[in-house]
Structure formats: structure tokens, C-alpha cells
Structure 1
Amino acid sequence: MGKKEFISETAAKIYAAMFTREDKDPDPKKAIELADELWTLLEEKHSE
């Protein structure tokens, strides 16, 4: 799986999960940022 596909799929899952929180509105930009951060963390772990 490539970076774009990973971020797209992961951001969609994060965004969907955001709807379960009543205290904050879902934010698609934040979901993409979180997915990108997760990609970076996984890349760093994999390269160790």
C-alpha cells in the first residue's frame, strides 16, 4: 500500500470516528493530518 492510499483510507476511518464525539465537530483536515502523522511514525518504526 502506498502513502496516498494509506492516508486516504486511514483519514476516512479517523473522520468517521470523529462523528462519535459530541464535544467536537468532525474535521476532515485534522483527520488527514493525523493519518499523515501515523504514516510518518510507521515509516520511522519500519526503518529502525
Structure 2
Amino acid sequence: MSDLDVSGTRSPFERENLGRALADPSGYDLLIFYRIDRLPRSMLDLAKIMAGPS
């Protein structure tokens, strides 16, 4: 899965592929990110990701 050419101003939850994976992580055992600083747009986004789906 990749979200190439997606603006860095978009929340991770608004990205097409990553948003789907974050909304329903049951289909994945593990998500690997090449660089963790590319995952969240802000510390708030990182906190939401770490908290899991609501």
C-alpha cells in the first residue's frame, strides 16, 4: 500500500490508503513506515493513531 503524491497537509485519516488501514486495522498484523515523521501531520494525529480506532 502506498499514498504517493498525497499532500503533506492532509491528515493521515484523510489519505486514501492509509485512512482505510487506520479506520479498520483488523485486516493487518503490522504496518511498517519507512520514516515515522512522515506518518502524522501533527502530534494530535499521532496521539489519535496510537489510541486506535474509535
TM category (shorter chain) comes to under 0.3
Taking structure 1 as the reference length, the TM-score comes to 0.25
| Structure ranking higher on relative contact order (CA contacts 8 Å, 6+ apart) | 1
Larger Rg: 1
Taking structure 2 as the reference length, the TM-score comes to 0.24
Higher helix share: 1
